[in-house]
Structure formats: structure tokens, C-alpha cells
């Protein structure tokens, strides 16, 4: 029950997840709201300070004027400035307007005499609002000029500014959010186009996503996706050819096997006829089994590194074993197998290397002529196992694709090869950190080899020897 509830909550979260453009717009709007609020607060406080500074400058000028000239233009018509000249004892000597009660008490007068200047905020009797008050001592210390100015004009200006900010900032926020949404939608439009085009791609058809102009991140993403699609298409085509070729190769021996069995069962047969039919069926069965093993080996190599169990082994033993397996076949074909003597040792999996050598010898007997030579040669810390024949060699257009799967020369195709032998040879060589190669011999015939790491001797090969870089022959 708890698991079902958790799944339902997860699905709900996925349903409520907003599109990227909306999330980006909300984030942008939140950031803009903070910025605009900060700007509004800064402007409001800055204007308030500037207005107060202007009032203070006016009060200071009027106080100096009162102390110097004995009178001041106090804007009596508007009633925004009040002026008094006070003695050190606190008595008002002169006041403007004349009926004005004392603006400050004796304590403020004493502080002004001591400090020279005192700034105050006051609410005055019979006066509306808050007033800014300056008490300024004259140079001789015999009088204090008290000047007061109403802060109502400043407060009214700040009120107007506040109302304008409250109206303007939300409008600015809405406009910025709409602009941010439009920009985000425009920036993500190529991504949406890529998504729709990718959703329309089906397996097996060549596909390419449109690359937006500009060379930005979306353009580079489109190029990367096109490269990936090209690789997937190549892999798909490779697998499709592999399946088609494998089906073709399996169909041929199966058809021959079925034909032999049908012919054997169509009418009564003699013992000799049945034996020939069974031998032919056994040959096709062996071919099927070998083809299935080859396909399984290639499938394992496609899934990861080919598993091997390397050990120190003598090259002559591997070559002699491969020659022994084909001795009967070579004798029946009037061919000769010759193993060159060698004292070289290599560090390899005998089973896998034997499988590769079997493929090479089989190809030499099937497609070559004359004596088949098996030899081992050392080259740059590697041991090359060569299989040579005296036939017509490899066609020039075949040499570049000889190690591809199901790749066969025209004359080889007509003689029943599966086209997997050389591919398996290369897989075995690469699994050991080596390589495979082929060439035509100067005197005629073909030479195919696989290069494997060299071992000094069986007793010295408890672990893998250092593997220098292989060089192509």
C-alpha cells in the first residue's frame, strides 16, 4: 500500500512538472522582482536623503543669515520656515513670525552652545506634521539661531514617488517577464524542432536532424546528435547485413541437408547409397556446427572483450596441431602441409589461437594451391604465426576488406566459404593485444598471419610479458 502511494506521489510530481520555458520565466521573473524591488527601495531612500540634505542646506544658510544680518526670508507666506534668535539663558530675542512660541528649550540651547550645532526632528505646538530643526551658535557664543522647516513637502514628494514606484515596478516586472518568456521560447524553439524531428525518426531509415544556424549550443547539440544517428545507422546497417548474411549462410547447408535426407527417404536405397547420404548430411551438419560456433564467437566479441586464458605455449606445438587436424584432408586433395621448425614461445590462449589457425589452414586448402606452409617468426617482441600457400593470392579489391565479416572474394563465394574465418582470426589477435594481416607472396600465393605477444620460455611466463607495440608487416 505504501509503495502504491509512493508511486502515485511520484507520478503526480511528474505531471505537475512545468515546461522548461515556464520554469525559466518564473526564475527570471523572481530575479527581476528582487532587482526591481531593490532598485525601488534604493531610489526611494536616495530621493529621501537628497530632499533632506536640501532642507538641511537651506536651514544652515538661513541660520547663518539670521546670525549675520539679523533677519531671514522665512517664507512666511507659506509658513514652511520658522526662525528664532535665542540668548544663552533661553530667552527668545527675536522670532519670525513674532507670535511663535519657543522652538527649543534651555537644554537644547546649552547643547548648541557646547557643540556649536544641533539637528533635531520636532513636532511643534499648533503646527502640523514633523519639522526639521537646526540650533546654530554664533561665533562669539552670545546667541543661538534656531531655524525650523516643515518636512511636509518632502513627505508629499516621497508619497508621490512611492505611488509611482508601486504602479511602475509591477508593470516593469510583467513586461520583463513577457520579454523573458518570449526570449526563452525563441531560444528553445530549435530544441522543440529537434525533438519533433527525432520523434519522427524510425529504425532503418536514414535520418538527419536540422542544424540551427548560429553555431551556438543548440547547433552543436544538433551536430552531435547527427553524428550519433550516423553511428547508430551504420551499426544498424551492419547488424542487418550480419543477420542477412548469417541467414543466407545457414540456409544453404540446411537446404543441402534437407535435400540429402529427402532423396534418401524418397525410395528404398541400398546400404552404399544411404551411407553416402549420411556422410553428406554429416558434412553439412559439421559445417552448420562450425558456422554456429563462429557466429557465437562474433556475438561474444560484440558484447565485450573476447574472453581468453593466456599461457606460455610453444609456437611449433600450435602449428603442428593445426597441421595434424588437416592431414587427412590435405592427403585426400593431393596437397602437402609443412610446418617450419621454431623455438619461439608466445603468451596466448591455445584454444583461441588454434581456432584461428584452423581457419587459416582451411582457407589455404580451400582457396589456395600447392604446399601449405606454417611458420613462426619474431618481429618487435611479437610472434607472427604465418600460413602460406602457392595459389593465385588475393584479388586487389579484396585485400582491404578481407577481415570484414562475411567478406569473400568472388571465387571464394562460389566455393562455399562463410566469410567469417578471417574475421575470427582478427578477433583472436586483437583479444591478445596483437594484430592480423595478409599479403600476396612475390612468387605467387597468399600469406596470412596473426601477431601475438612473445613469451621468453614456459618457465618464465607466470604473468603477461610486456607487450611492445605491434608493427604491420
Give 170's pLDDT tier (boundaries 50, 70, 90): very high
Outline where 130-216 has alpha helix (H): 152-199
Residue 48 is placed in which grid cell? 529621501
Q: Region 16-23: what's the mean pLDDT?
A: 79
pTM for the full predicted model? 0.50
407: pLDDT strictly greater than 70: no
Residue 463 banded pLDDT, cuts 50, 70, 90:
very low
Domains and CATH numbers, the chain: 71-151 (3.30.450.20), 217-300 (1.10.287.130), 309-460 (3.30.565.10)
Asked if pLDDT for residue 90 goes beyond 50, the answer is: yes
**Crossing angle (nearest 10°) for helices 350-367 and 315-325:** 50
Taking a C-beta distance cutoff of 8 angstroms, is the pair 377, 383 a contact? yes
pLDDT of residue 467: 39
Are the C-beta atoms of 440 and 434 separated by less than 8 Å?
A: no
Q: Which helix (H) or strand (E) holds 85?
A: strand 81-86
In contact, 344 and 438? CB cutoff 8 Å: no
Q: What is the C-alpha end-to-end distance of the chain, expressed in Å? A: 69
For the stretch 230-237, contacts whose Cβ atoms lie closer than 8 Å and that sit 24 or more positions apart, written own/partner, are: 233/206, 233/207, 236/203, 236/204
pLDDT in tens, 256-304: 677 777 777 777 777 787 777 777 777 777 777 777 777 777 766 666 6
Grid cell, residue 119, equals 539637528
Amino acid at each position: 500500500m505504501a509503495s502504491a502511494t509512493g508511486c502515485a506521489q511520484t507520478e503526480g510530481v511528474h505531471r505537475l512538472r512545468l515546461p522548461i520555458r515556464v520554469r525559466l520565466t518564473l526564475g527570471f521573473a523572481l530575479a527581476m522582482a528582487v532587482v526591481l524591488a531593490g532598485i525601488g527601495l534604493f531610489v526611494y531612500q536616495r530621493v529621501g536623503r537628497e530632499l533632506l540634505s536640501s532642507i538641511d542646506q537651506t536651514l544652515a544658510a538661513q541660520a547663518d543669515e539670521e546670525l549675520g544680518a539679523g533677519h531671514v526670508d522665512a517664507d512666511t507666506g507659506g509658513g514652511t520656515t520658522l526662525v528664532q534668535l535665542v540668548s544663552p539663558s533661553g530667552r527668545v530675542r527675536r522670532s519670525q513670525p513674532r507670535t511663535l512660541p519657543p522652538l527649543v528649550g534651555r537644554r537644547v540651547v546649552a547643547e548648541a552652545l557646547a557643540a556649536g550645532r544641533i539637528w533635531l526632528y520636532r513636532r511643534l505646538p499648533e503646527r502640523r506634521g514633523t519639522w526639521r530643526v537646526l540650533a546654530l551658535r554664533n561665533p562669539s557664543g552670545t546667541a543661538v539661531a534656531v531655524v525650523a522647516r516643515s518636512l511636509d513637502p518632502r513627505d508629499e514628494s516621497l508619497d508621490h514617488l512611492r505611488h509611482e514606484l508601486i504602479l511602475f515596478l509591477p508593470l516593469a516586472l510583467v513586461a520583463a517577464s513577457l520579454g523573458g518568456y518570449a526570449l526563452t521560447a525563441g531560444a528553445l524553439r530549435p530544441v522543440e524542432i529537434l525533438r519533433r524531428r527525432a520523434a519522427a525518426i524510425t529504425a532503418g531509415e536514414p535520418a538527419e536532424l536540422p542544424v540551427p544556424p548560429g553555431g551556438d549550443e543548440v547547433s552543436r547539440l544538433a551536430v552531435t546528435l547527427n553524428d550519433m544517428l550516423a553511428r547508430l545507422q551504420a551499426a544498424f546497417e551492419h547488424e542487418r547485413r550480419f543477420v542477412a548474411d548469417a541467414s543466407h549462410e545457414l540456409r544453404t547447408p540446411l537446404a543441402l541437408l534437407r535435400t540429402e535426407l529427402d532423396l534418401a527417404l524418397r525410395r528404398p536405397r541400398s546400404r552404399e547409397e544411404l551411407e553416402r547420404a549420411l556422410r553428406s548430411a554429416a558434412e553439412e551438419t559439421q559445417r552448420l556446427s562450425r558456422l554456429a560456433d563462429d557466429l557465437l564467437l562474433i556475438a561474444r566479441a560484440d558484447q565485450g572483450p573476447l574472453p581468453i586464458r593466456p599461457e606460455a605455449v610453444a609456437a611449433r606445438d600450435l602449428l603442428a596441431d593445426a597441421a595434424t587436424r588437416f592431414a587427412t584432408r590435405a592427403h585426400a586433395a593431393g596437397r602437402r602441409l609443412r610446418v617450419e621448425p621454431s623455438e619461439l614461445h608466445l603468451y596466448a590462449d591455445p584454444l583461441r589461437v588454434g581456432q584461428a589457425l584452423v581457419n587459416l589452414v582451411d582457407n589455404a586448402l580451400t582457396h589456395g594451391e600447392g604446399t601449405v606452409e606454417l611458420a613462426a617468426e619474431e618481429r618487435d617482441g611479437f610472434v607472427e604465426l604465418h600460413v602460406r600457400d602457392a595459389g593465385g593470392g588475393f584479388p586487389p579489391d579484396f585485400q582491404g576488406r578481407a577481415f570484414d565479416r562475411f567478406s569473400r572474394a568472388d571465387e571464394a563465394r562460389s566455393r562455399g566459404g562463410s566469410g567469417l574465418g578471417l574475421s575470427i582470426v582478427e578477433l583472436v589477435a586483437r583479444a591478445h593485444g596483437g594484430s592480423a594481416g595478409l599479403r600476396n607472396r612475390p612468387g605467387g600465393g597468399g600469406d596470412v598471419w596473426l601477431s601475438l605477444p612473445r613469451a621468453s620460455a614456459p618457465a618464465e611466463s607466470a604473468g603477461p610479458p610486456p607487450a611492445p607495440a605491434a608493427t604491420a608487416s
